[in-house]
Structure 1
């Protein structure tokens, strides 16, 4: 029984008092410290940040900065990573981007991250606990923020670790060549309030809502993020301002570029930034590219399994050790052997091993496969047969679906495409079994000749590896809204009933198709619910609610569609 005062009030225990005393006692100089601070940026807005300091004896120290819209204190997304740096003698600074978490200002995704990132880096460098060397790191939105920050060339920024960032807005996200990623409805729902969370939203109702802009009523978001997605549905000035095309020669920084072959959210951005830095930057020889068999989130916490497919144990890289070693080299100046290691390391899922080509897209030739009217992928035009067309009906109310758990914390579509390939509205083109291994290394492209009976539709393409066991494992994909085929800036209606030539870019790959396996290309007009359904009508999708069924045709044989595969001759031999 606790002691009580004469008035019957309980008396505090010695344990409670000791806990209080410990909280207000001067810090132990040998212990790490966590602080919460406000960082004022150039327009007076204050951004909230958590600062993780190592023991006082290790200060001043280099700092690694992370930007997040997902609450700076969330353990798995931010705090755990910051503590790992802290334990290794770095200062880690995690800040809520403008309008998110505890930060002031209006939440408007992507728009303010460049100037805010610059000001945070310079504020950090000016603190007595920082030695002036600052790096930036981040996954996904945080990866985008690293490039937004670097675009402003803050003087104290020394190195970047960027994982699965956005790069070519409107070619990648939030629309892929005109095809709106409905994933962004889920994302805006998750960040519709200052703290991350979906609440009691019915996600099945959300993705099936027409018109698409009515999703706003369901999620009731703050800020302008959803409005930006709906109002800026072409590659207009809004998105052009967020691209750094032609300006990579101004970014003189070493970069570790990380992504995963199974990253459906944004595999393309890392390759874009890497290629531009190698082509333009004064730091071209200080670019490292690391790509594994990982999904979007797995790129930071890699494993050796995805979508029911298992890989060699070596696929589960200790990514923290990789990041730390990179910053040890470029923030601390350690000569740790990194400069002597391969600049490109790619996991070949087909061969189930790591590969280290001399450079990305080095020593490749082109192999053309012709789409035959009989469903073949032929090695020469004559074998593809005479000119013909294969037709299918695309009904937006019965779209091709890639099944995954809408309620999962992270959307991760499966690898095996076989369950959808039996549909009448999915056209398959399959090669003969390969006589010897074939390594595809680079960016596949499809020269698609096609017809639709309306003024718009979508083309969704997948390249798969078909082993003898009947599976059809996705290794690359691409899509294009027909009206955007000639221009992402100024889409035009498609002439109904006329054959049109389209250039469909597939995602980059490094994949060995084993002997006895077949190469398959599938073409259809939907990939729901990752992508919003095209209602087969020209114009912005935001307010369309009247779907029509389209009759689409793929031209095959002589003068028809051709798949181009970049082949690595060195590895193939």
Structure 2
């Protein structure tokens, strides 16, 4: 039997179909008459012929308006259309750095994809170094910012020819690049939580310890122009994933990361050699005049870039002869200043500190330099945690008043100043097979609220472990006010030939808290960081440690601005792992810890020397309470 299909399925004898007309226009033009802004999508030519994708949002009726400019590797189109809306404030509300200030003061908003990312042409290089030994080409982020600003002031007719550049994190790195040989139209810069020195204490390392959870970021950010390849794991707990993965290098190989240029650079430069030091932005800006008014914004609990803002402030302040440098230090996680700043984890601040920053510090700063408004903020605005209030000053740290030396004792007491008792020690066994978690398990990725809040997590879980040494003061009868960076002088020995040292300065709340019961006995980290022992003789000179010999380790903890209140206690914790954020130290010296093999990891007895000539931590005291 022959099956015959329907007549409409038979091909025509002349081989041609009568096509139905397409219902999709060749060039659709949206009707935007009801919008309160105009969106322009342009490609701006750089001096080397590369074109950068730029989105310009102009409020309807704008005349002689200042421009707020952001350069980003995170998709300019998405940042300018967070929610599709005809209202500018809604459209940019979720991904804009200062959407309320933008709308209130009628600024033109410009967001640009940096070269090599999303809609822009050219090649992507992570934190592209400025022209010099690490970048022999004639272009960098400084020249790209210059060329873009030059185009904007000549082609955006509604502007007044004044530009401010601002951004957070990587977007905060870009304003620092723009103030190097800046365009004359650049009138203000606001680097918020900027990436400054990726080895010393920002994204990639802290004092030599690698932040291995950032493998996901490196993978997604550099594997494609549009972050098309996503990091996938078969674990609900990053702790278990990284433990079974053994080393950062082994995990990277599993993901094919040897194809990624930036990862190969990290792998080749585990120490603080010229590759890192020559691109450290604070070192570069230490030799640049401060010609553009710059407001550096720091977060006191920044879980990603806690080092950079203060480092670049100090580097620039040394030659800020015309008083163009400003600093803001808020009680925030990374980027929280553009969200709700009423609390951070369990810690409450009594007001929306982020809203205060935007309305009473950022807004008048921008208006002063873009609109000739009279008022200008104080040179330093810093929130005092513990006391929960804003203070102003002329320089950071605020009102220095000497130091208070914390002296751990062999009975786990912590003396506040004065003379120590006879020398002693406290020991624990650090086992790489059971590293100390940096936050409660299961440990999620570097995203979401668990990641944002971890620096304010209760440290009691760590204090209960036998591989964490804890030293606690008597109950305070008077407030202790600090402002600045604590200095650690750790004296310790290890039975291994390498070791990591994590030191935490902690505010211990009273055993009961009437107004907030969950804060009873809470152990709040005020300043905490890690130091890789192999760098004790120099960050560019990794060397094995002499086993069972007490050695000094001197390093600086992150800046704090805090009052330890009466009724509280001060605690110091010392441990030798902070996992899985930081890769495990094998505790046996190997040339490159990123490539450590399973057999390299050994338990070690760590001994903290206390008392006379032992471990001390100097807190930077400040006047006032």
Q: TM-score, normalised by structure 1?
A: 0.89
Shift of 1:128: 4.1
The CA deviation string for residues 192-212 of structure 1, in whole angstroms up to 9 with x for no partner, is 433357454346265332231
How far apart are the structure 2 equivalents of 1:262 and 1:419?
19
Q: Alignment partner for residue 124 of structure 1, among 152, 157, 162?
A: 152
Contiguous gaps of at least 5 residues in structure 1: 1-6
CA radius of gyration, larger in? 2
8 Å contact kept, 1:212–1:542? yes
Bigger CA drift: 534-543 or 386-395?
534-543
The reply on whether 1:52 has 2:57 as its aligned counterpart is yes
Q: 1:517 to 1:320 in 2, by over 3 A?
A: closer
Q: Alignment partner for residue 104 of structure 1, among 93, 96, 121?
A: 121
* 1:315 alignment partner in structure 2: 353
The reply on whether 1:177 has 2:246 as its aligned counterpart is no
The reply on whether 1:135 has 2:164 as its aligned counterpart is yes
* 2:490 alignment partner in structure 1: 448
Shift of 1:408: 6.5
Q: Alignment partner for residue 464 of structure 1, among 492, 502, 506?
A: 506
Q: Alignment partner for residue 423 of structure 2, among 387, 391, 405?
A: 387
The reply on whether 1:212 has 2:248 as its aligned counterpart is yes
Q: 1:270 to 1:425 in 2, by over 3 A?
A: same
Q: Alignment partner for residue 262 of structure 2, among 217, 225, 230?
A: 225
The reply on whether 1:329 has 2:336 as its aligned counterpart is no
Contiguous gaps of at least 5 residues in structure 2: 1-17, 84-90, 129-139, 512-520
The equivalences for 1:185-204 within 5 A come to 185-191=215-221, 192-196=223-227, 198=230, 200-202=232-234, 204=238
8 Å contact kept, 1:169–1:240? no
The reply on whether 1:242 has 2:305 as its aligned counterpart is no
The reply on whether 1:353 has 2:384 as its aligned counterpart is no
How far apart are the structure 2 equivalents of 1:189 and 1:515?
47
Shift of 1:125: 3.0
Q: 1:247 to 1:313 in 2, by over 3 A?
A: closer
How far apart are the structure 2 equivalents of 1:30 and 1:309?
40
How far apart are the structure 2 equivalents of 1:31 and 1:301?
23
The CA deviation string for residues 151-194 of structure 1, in whole angstroms up to 9 with x for no partner, is 23333321111110122342113211111112321322342433
* 1:306 alignment partner in structure 2: 344
Secondary structure in structure 2 of the residue aligned to 1:229: helix
Secondary structure in structure 1 of the residue aligned to 2:318: helix
Secondary structure in structure 2 of the residue aligned to 1:558: coil
How far apart are the structure 2 equivalents of 1:21 and 1:374?
76
The reply on whether 1:540 has 2:582 as its aligned counterpart is no
* 2:3 alignment partner in structure 1: none
8 Å contact kept, 1:47–1:103? yes
Secondary structure in structure 2 of the residue aligned to 1:256: strand
How far apart are the structure 2 equivalents of 1:126 and 1:467?
58
How far apart are the structure 2 equivalents of 1:218 and 1:250?
46
Q: 1:354 to 1:91 in 2, by over 3 A?
A: same
Secondary structure in structure 1 of the residue aligned to 2:41: strand
Q: 1:236 to 1:435 in 2, by over 3 A?
A: same
8 Å contact kept, 1:452–1:496? yes
Aligned length: 553
8 Å contact kept, 1:460–1:526? yes
8 Å contact kept, 2:214–2:446? no
Q: 1:524 to 1:11 in 2, by over 3 A?
A: closer
Secondary structure in structure 2 of the residue aligned to 1:73: helix
The reply on whether 1:406 has 2:437 as its aligned counterpart is no
Secondary structure in structure 1 of the residue aligned to 2:276: helix
Secondary structure in structure 2 of the residue aligned to 1:151: coil
8 Å contact kept, 2:487–2:556? yes
The reply on whether 1:63 has 2:105 as its aligned counterpart is no
Q: 1:380 to 1:330 in 2, by over 3 A?
A: closer
8 Å contact kept, 2:336–2:354? no
How far apart are the structure 1 equivalents of 2:416 and 2:22?
87
Q: 1:434 to 1:158 in 2, by over 3 A?
A: same
Shift of 1:140: 0.5
How far apart are the structure 1 equivalents of 2:21 and 2:48?
51
8 Å contact kept, 2:328–2:380? yes
Shift of 1:11: 10
* 1:571 alignment partner in structure 2: 624
* 2:178 alignment partner in structure 1: 149
How far apart are the structure 1 equivalents of 2:292 and 2:22?
60
CA RMSD of aligned residues (A): 2.8
Q: Alignment partner for residue 187 of structure 2, among 158, 167, 172?
A: 158
The reply on whether 1:438 has 2:480 as its aligned counterpart is yes
Q: 1:559 to 1:49 in 2, by over 3 A?
A: same
Bigger CA drift: 549-558 or 112-121?
112-121
How far apart are the structure 2 equivalents of 1:334 and 1:175?
42
How far apart are the structure 2 equivalents of 1:327 and 1:224?
38
Secondary structure in structure 2 of the residue aligned to 1:194: coil
Shift of 1:21: 7.8
Q: TM-score, normalised by structure 2?
A: 0.82
